[in-house]
Structure 1
Amino acid sequence: MPFQIGRAIFCGFLATSALTTIMLANWISGLLPQIDLVRVLQGLFPINPAIGFATHVLIGSLLLGPIFGLVKGILPGSTNTVKGIAFGLMVWLACSPVTGYALLTERATIGAMLVTVVYFVAFGATLGWLWGELVTNEPETE
């Protein structure tokens, strides 16, 4: 089956929407440390919040969705969801130094790291599951 860029972008968009929903639920509940990835992006670039949000969505959709499709075959795991979780953890490891929440940094409290891991695991699990349902038509069997 040829690579389907449109579906990859759509899966990335939906997975980013899931991550954003979890961020908003955390913000509303106030239960966990507040790690706003949109504000982190805003801090990296001198941009207003609307552009920060658009950047957040575009990275998840246009970049991470297609990258998952390209590397899915080499990721560990027997299901798309598990492969997605592995991908989410890899993205977390790659993004942590950029956001300032990497291990052994001033901002890297246990709570902050836990919250960001939850965000990226949710993103990856959603992306992997959607990939199986919408792109490869491989429903989860395990």
Structure 2
Amino acid sequence: MPHSKNKQGYKSMNKYISSMIAGFVATVVLSLLMLMKQAMGLMPELNPIMMLSNMAHMKMGLPESMVVGWMAHFMIGTFVWGLTFSLLFKVLPGSCAISKGVAFSVLAWFLMMILPMPMSGAGLFGVNLGMMAPVMALGMHLVWGVVLGYVYGRLVSKES
């Protein structure tokens, strides 16, 4: 019997590792979308990396550097959102990992709109950046959620 307990613990640990891998991959995809958006000149004022960098500098005294913003972006996407996704997975609406990822991405977007956006000076839902800011951010978060759910679903199904 101890073997099955260890196996369950192993599966549980793999679930968390899988969720961090999925969070990282989804954050890479989101980052590429953000870079493409910037390169095309679409809404340059909507720059979450700059916002994170500025907030880290103003609130925590960290160097005002895009490296700090990128590190925060990847830590949030990989650890905070990745792990939270696995913890909420069973209660999220949806019948498959992808639909659960999409539902989770709406939650992540909403929290971004009411917490860091106002803290960065962009206003609630980023309205100081224009009405397209929350729409564009939602679109990018939905892609992030699809990738998050897809990767997590694939990794967890391989564990079973």
Q: TM-score, normalised by structure 2?
A: 0.77
Amino acid at match of 1:124: G
Segments of 5+ residues of structure 1 without an aligned counterpart are none
Q: What is aligned with 2:61?
A: none
| RMSD of aligned residue pairs (Cα, Å) | 1.8
Q: State how far apart, in whole Å, the 2-side matches of 1:28 and 1:60 are.
A: 22
- Is the 1:3–1:69 contact (alpha carbons within 8 Å) kept by the matching residues of 2? no
Q: What is aligned with 2:117?
A: 99
Segments of 5+ residues of structure 2 without an aligned counterpart are 1-10, 58-63
Q: What is aligned with 1:21?
A: 32
Equivalent position to 1:72, from 76, 89, 95: 89
Runs of 4 or more consecutive aligned structure 1 residues displaced over 6 Å after TM superposition: none
Q: What is aligned with 1:128?
A: 149
Q: Higher helix share goes to which structure?
A: 2
Equivalent position to 1:33, from 16, 24, 43: 43
Q: State how far apart, in whole Å, the 1-side matches of 2:157 and 2:131 are.
A: 37
Q: State how far apart, in whole Å, the 2-side matches of 1:27 and 1:18 are.
A: 14
Q: TM-score, normalised by structure 1?
A: 0.86
Equivalent position to 1:112, from 123, 133, 137: 133
Deviates more, 1:64-73 or 1:44-53: 44-53
Deviations 1:16-71 (A, max 9, x none): 001001001111112x3232111111121103111111110111111111110110
Q: Map of 1:34-49 to 2, 5 A cutoff?
A: 34=44, 35-46=46-57, 47-49=64-66
Q: State how far apart, in whole Å, the 1-side matches of 2:127 and 2:21 are.
A: 36
Q: What is aligned with 1:2?
A: 12
Q: State how far apart, in whole Å, the 2-side matches of 1:28 and 1:106 are.
A: 22
Report sequence identity in percent. 25
Residues 1:74 and 1:3: Cα distance change in structure 2 (over 3 Å): farther
User: Which structure would you say has the larger Rg?
Assistant: 2
Report whether the alignment pairs 1:53 with 2:64.
no
Amino acid at match of 2:93: P
Aligned residues: 136
Amino acid at match of 1:93: F
Q: Map of 1:75-90 to 2, 5 A cutoff?
A: 75-90=92-107
- Is the 2:106–2:142 contact (alpha carbons within 8 Å) kept by the matching residues of 1? yes
Report whether the alignment pairs 1:11 with 2:22.
yes
* TM-aligned CA deviation for residue 123 of structure 1: 1.2
Deviations 1:77-121 (A, max 9, x none): 112111101101101111112223534x64152211111111211
